[in-house]
Structure 1
Amino acid sequence: MAPQATAPATTPSLMRRMACWLYEGMLMFGVVFIAGYLFGTLSQTRNAMDNRHALQAFLFVVFGIYFTWFWAKGQTLAMKTWNIRVVDRAGRPISQPRALLRYVLSWLWFLPPLAAVSPFALSGGETTVLVIGWVAVWAILARFHPEQQFWHDALAGTRLVHFEHSKK
């Protein structure tokens, strides 16, 4: 029996990647809940506004650990659900340093609009509209990448590809 040639990995559609992105956001509520509870218990924080910046820094680290660990393994739970895998440009699994770089660069989804609103006293609704608008623009910009990849993936040297789990 001759070995089968593997087809080149295809980029999942933008709609599928955004559905995965939204599902990932829902799953992150559990991570935030557990991490927030742990932080509040360990720091003895009684008011949500106390230690707010320390909590934000703690969550940034917890998210970094979560994503770096899962991406270095190839997929988060949401990515498994949507049959998406993160690989390097050559199609190999990514290393933890590359996964960490991807994590830092993935903040391009949120930091530009948050930096833009910080000098102004905008309401929560106005900030939400700006963030959602930027997320839509950032997602649509993937259409201009030669392989339809998100630009933070291009900068990190990673790719999102369709991955079908083998059923044994």
Structure 2
Amino acid sequence: MIESATICRNPPPGLLRRLASMVYESLLLAAVLFVAAFVYILLRNPQAPGGMLFFRLYLALVIAAYFLWFWTHGGQTLAMKTWRLRLIAADGSPVRARMAAKRLLFAVLGIAAFGIGILWALWDPDRQFLHDRLAGTQLMRE
């Protein structure tokens, strides 16, 4: 399942560039979550029974919607545009919804597992993150 053939003609972006993009992405995502939390609190009391569970699920859905939308509509979030990165399918085509969902799931799992999904890039022959390898996607420099 894990192959090292890639279609992208540009060399893969460096690890530091991708990590810098991730840091910037976390700042932008924090702002998105701040606005989403504000809207939620206006509409529903998070202190109500079960309110915190629904609040956490709502924020998780906001995060998923954020990434899935941008990855499937142009392959770039704002942070990726800033750092001149684009997400494409391994065959060079645009990312489809199923691929984006798999990438998001594998990224969350790989980061939660002490960052092994990120560290994978140090040994991967194409310098890909593990979640890109498993989802059939890749990052390219613009």
In the alignment, is the contact (CA less than 8 A) between 2:25 and 2:79 conserved in 1? yes
3-state SS of paired residue (1:61): helix
Cross-structure match for 1:31: 32
TM-superposition CA deviations, 1:63-95 (whole Å, max 9, x none): 111100100121000000000000011111111
Query: Relative to 1, partners in 2 of residues 1:139 and 1:95: Cα closer, same or farther, differing over 3 Å?
Result: same
In the alignment, is the contact (CA less than 8 A) between 1:40 and 1:46 conserved in 2? no
In the alignment, is the contact (CA less than 8 A) between 2:71 and 2:100 conserved in 1? yes
Bigger-Rg structure (1/2): 1
TM-superposition CA deviations, 1:127-162 (whole Å, max 9, x none): xxxxxxx23x54222111121000011111000110
Compute the displacement of 1:102 (Å).
Answer: 1.3
TM-superposition CA deviations, 1:12-65 (whole Å, max 9, x none): 000000000000001011111011111112212358xx7222211111111111
Letter in 2 for 1:161: M
- Structure 2 regions of 5+ residues with no counterpart? 1-7
In the alignment, is the contact (CA less than 8 A) between 2:110 and 2:130 conserved in 1? no
Root mean square deviation, CA, Å: 2.0
Cross-structure match for 1:129: none
Hey, what's the Cα distance between the residues in 2 that align with 1:9 and 1:97? 25
* Identity rate, percent: 34
Hey, what's the Cα distance between the residues in 1 that align with 2:10 and 2:106? 23
Hey, what's the Cα distance between the residues in 1 that align with 2:32 and 2:62? 8
Hey, what's the Cα distance between the residues in 2 that align with 1:141 and 1:34? 34
Cross-structure match for 1:142: 121
Letter in 2 for 1:144: W
